Amino acid sequence: MKLEQIINFFRDKKGINIIYIVLIIGIFLLSFDVFFPKSETKTKENTQTQQKAEYEKELEERLEETLSKIKGAGRVKVLINLKDEGEIVTLSNIKEKTSGREGERVNDVEKSVAILKIDGNESPLVIRNEKPRVKGVIVIAEGASNAYIKEELTKAVITFLDVPAHNVAVFQGEKNK
């Protein structure tokens, strides 16, 4: 008797609506990770952004200190824009196999990252850690109205950061009263 009541309930419009609601809730719960990523991902992104900002600020401060020592530059403010967050280059093992008949050649490449084990902890073997690349630099200096000083500031930035001249802009700042 109860089985018949259940079947009749689901044949009714009210029962079908409940099935739809349960399906929608189920789909939402299954896709929960897509809509709300784990905090690890957010923490990693926040850490990378924070490290980029700290590196940017450190470069700006060092460059400001260096440029302000140029005779005639006066007070200097520097703004640096970075292209990326840098790159960690790891050692990779590459195995390449070539097979096939005459006229047909099949290349099979297998790439794996070399792992370093220390006290049971595994981590990739890092070859080098590249710093973020500089996209552009703005320099605001009191003495930049003088063409010679402006050129010297530009050359110093190009040398200090290894950026092309077209990515460096030097402007005159307000004079101290």
Which pLDDT tens digit goes with each residue over 115-140?
Answer: 777 887 877 777 777 788 889 999 99
Would strands 134-141 and 168-172 be described as parallel, antiparallel, or unpaired? parallel
Query: pLDDT digits over 82-104, tens only?
Result: 887 777 777 776 666 666 666 66
pLDDT interval class at 156 (50, 70, 90): very high
Residue extents of the structural domains in the chain = 1-36, 38-86+131-177, 92-130
Percent of the chain with pLDDT over 70: 75
Phi and psi, residue 82, nearest 5°: -95, 145
Say whether pLDDT at 39 is over 60: no
Chain segment 61-85, per-residue pLDDT in tens: 999 999 999 999 999 999 999 887 7
Contact 73, 66 (CB under 8 A): no
* Number of CB atoms found within 10 A of residue 129's CB: 9
Detail the DSSP E strand segments found in the chain.
Answer: 76-82, 87-90, 92-99, 106-113, 115-118, 121-124, 126-130, 134-141, 168-172
Any idea what the Cα angle at residue 168 is, between residues 170 and 53, rounded to 5°? 105
pLDDT of residue 78: 94
Q: Print burial letters for 135-162: b (CB count within 10 Å at least 16), e (below 16).
A: ebbebbbbbbeeeebbebbbebbeebbe
d(CA 167, CA 147): 18
Rounded Cα gap, residues 64 and 79, in angstroms: 9
Model pTM score: 0.57
Tokens at residue 113, please?
Answer: 């990252």
| % of the chain surpassing 90 pLDDT | 34
pLDDT score for 128: 78
Q: What is the mean pLDDT of the chain?
A: 80
Q: What phi and psi, each to the nearest 5 degrees, are found at residue 105? A: -130, 130
Give the per-residue pLDDT at 6.
67
Class of domain 38-86+131-177 as given by CATH: alpha beta
